[in-house]
Amino acid sequence: MTDLIFNLSKFYEKRLAFVLCIVTESSGSTPRKSGSKMIVFENGKTEGTVGGGAVEMQVKQEALEVLKSGISKQVRYQLEKDLQMQCGGNMTIYFEPFFPAPKLYIFGAGHVGREVGFYAQTLGFDITYIDHRPDIYNEFDAGNAACLAGDYVEMASVLPLNNESFAVITTPDHSADKAVLSKLAKLDLKYVGMMGSKRKVAEITNQLLDGNVLSKEQIAKVDMPIGLPIHAETPKEIAVSIVAKLIDVRNSQS
């Protein structure tokens, strides 16, 4: 079981979703005793054991439901009554889900972008900065974030963006914002938002619609002006409003 616990961090680093199942209490005749552990992955594969047979099959099914809900729980099994097992004892099993840190791509590592990365990183996001200015990363401590330098649109075309990805557009240039937006809004992302005043948002929206670059449905998916409306003014305040929105989206069950 020591190897199983050691592997938890390895599974997490590989960005695997799984449920840790722990026997927290056992009484009478049971196939495994308190402290026994099993990991159930979202593809149904397992590592470790909580007893095999009917109880393990039931635990596996329960773990897959926990992965769907994202909520930990504890279940008591009466082996003979509930599962028709000859053991006749009772087992209580705790289910704890683990999910890979959500990926947040920040296009523009200026004053607001770097603050978004700082706060989001402390709140469990896996950060990647993208900026066309390679020297900008010398201006601040990016922590564990990945720092990429290059053309915004070209980078957006090669990054592993998917329906679990978050993207924030905070470039220093109006035309760059529009170019990145025209790319990201066509993708199926968990969240995409663009920083800007209402006037800037309206101008870019009209240009993209009039030029048939994006549809109304694609525009509607974008959070802009980005963040929660808290009358933020400073870069830190704006970043707080943005990260608050990211947390809201991340924690909302679909």
Expressed in angstroms, the distance from the first to the final Cα of the chain is 35
Percent of the chain scoring above 70 in pLDDT: 94
Give the per-residue pLDDT at 84.
54
* pTM score of the predicted model: 0.77
Residue 246 has a pLDDT of 96
Runs of H (alpha helix) within the chain:
2-13, 53-69, 79-83, 111-122, 152-158, 174-184, 198-210, 216-220, 235-251
Helix (H, G, I), strand (E, B) or coil at 20: strand
User: 55-100: per-residue pLDDT in tens?
Assistant: 888 899 999 999 988 899 999 888 766 555 556 678 899 999 988 8
For residues 113-130, average pLDDT: 96
**Phi/psi of residue 140, each to 5°?**
-155, 165
Report the percentage of the chain scoring pLDDT > 90: 66
Nearest CA among 123, 129, 168, 170 for reference residue 146: 129
- Tens digit of each residue's pLDDT (9 = 90 or more) over 178-228: 999 999 999 999 999 999 889 999 999 999 998 888 899 999 999 999 989
- Cα(59)–Cα(91) distance, rounded to whole angstroms? 11
What are the pLDDT digits (tens) for 19-61?
A: 999 999 888 777 678 888 999 998 999 998 888 778 888 899 9
Q: What is the pLDDT of residue 254?
A: 47
Q: Domains of the chain by range and CATH? A: 2-98 (no CATH), 103-251 (3.40.50.720)
Longest dimension (CA), the chain: 73
